[in-house]
Structure 1
Amino acid sequence: MSNARPAPEPRAAYAQFVSLGTRWMDNDIYGHLNNVVYYSLFDTAVNQYLIAQGALDIHGGEVIGLVVETHCNFFDSLAFPQQVEAGLRVAQRGRSSVRYEIGLFAPGQALCAARGHFVHVYVERESRRPVAALPDPYLKALEGLML
């Protein structure tokens, strides 16, 4: 385990970007996005990308992703009414799981305000058991997130 302090990353560290809006209710009493909102932005960015790529069908798809691990490091504040640019990449892909890494950027900023990851385990919607292999539409979508 490394003792190096986490540091913000540049935009070049990410393969794709998704633009997300913040909401009035996202700010906390201190005037910036509450920490739980960052996790919601991570989840929204990945799922928005997968839906746009035709991989994820949230209403009728046979395969869904369940989040089994999350992490976030904070470097700078974000606040409503900012747009947030979420950089995405795939760090690791297993038989039925994917580790997504996300950097959240304020518009025009070179370094991320926060970065983190979450792991999706892809399961059959009905049984909630891991899939034997990621379906082809997911594999194709994930190619766009590989550096």
Structure 2
Amino acid sequence: MSDARPEPESRSAYRVFRTIGTRWMDNDVYGHVNNVVYYSWFDTAVNAHLIEQGALDIHGGAVIGLVVETRCNYFAPLAFPQDVVAGLRVGRVGSSSVRYEVGLFGADDTLCAASGHFIHVYVDRQTRRPAPLPEKLKSVLETLK
């Protein structure tokens, strides 16, 4: 792991975007969105995109993605009632795993307020053993590289 602190990236570093509205309950006592909410936004951005593209069937698909690693770096505060724009890209695709990278932006900001990643290992729904990425998922992931 590098000791260098990551720098905020611009919107051009990401491939697709999703606007997410903040909620009153997202703010903490310090007047900004609590750190745990950022991870929820990561999940929302990735899974909504995969579902919309027909690459993920959360109710009946043969494979499901399990999070095995996650990280977030914070650069600037976000707060209710601000809209957040989540930028999405794929950093790495393996035979059964994917590293999704997400940048979170204030609605009009050019640099991300936070960036992070999570790694899904795709497993057989029944056995929970690693499974090859389905072809439809692989084709959608190619558009996010």
Report TM bin, short chain.
over 0.9
What is the aligned partner in structure 2 of residue 98 from structure 1?
98
Give the secondary-structure state (helix, strand or coil) at the position aligned to 2:141: helix
Give the secondary-structure state (helix, strand or coil) at the position aligned to 1:80: coil
Question: Do 1:86 and 1:105's aligned partners in 2 also have CA atoms closer than 8 Å?
Answer: yes
TM-score where L is the length of structure 2: 0.96
Q: Which amino acid aligns with 1:125?
A: R
After alignment, is 8-17 or 18-27 more displaced? 18-27
Q: Is 1:142 aligned to residue 141 of structure 2? A: yes
- For 2:106 and 2:69, the matched residues in 1 are separated by 25
What is the aligned partner in structure 2 of residue 113 from structure 1?
113
- For 2:101 and 2:140, the matched residues in 1 are separated by 15
Tell me by how many angstroms 1:59 deviates: 1.0
Q: Deviations over 1:116-142 (max 9, x none)?
A: 0000000111111110x2101101110
Tell me by how many angstroms 1:21 deviates: 1.6
- For 1:126 and 1:2, the matched residues in 2 are separated by 37
- For 2:43 and 2:92, the matched residues in 1 are separated by 17
- For 2:138 and 2:19, the matched residues in 1 are separated by 22
- For 1:2 and 1:60, the matched residues in 2 are separated by 40
| Identity percentage of aligned residues | 68
Q: Deviations over 1:90-128 (max 9, x none)?
A: 101100000011000001100000000000000111111
Give the secondary-structure state (helix, strand or coil) at the position aligned to 1:110: coil
Tell me by how many angstroms 1:82 deviates: 1.5
Q: Is 1:38 aligned to residue 38 of structure 2? A: yes
- For 1:11 and 1:47, the matched residues in 2 are separated by 20
- For 1:108 and 1:81, the matched residues in 2 are separated by 13
The aligned length equals: 145
- For 1:64 and 1:37, the matched residues in 2 are separated by 22
TM-score where L is the length of structure 1: 0.95
The answer for unaligned runs of 5 or more in structure 1 is none
Question: Do 1:16 and 1:144's aligned partners in 2 also have CA atoms closer than 8 Å?
Answer: no
Give the CA RMSD over aligned residues: 0.9
Tell me by how many angstroms 1:3 deviates: 2.9
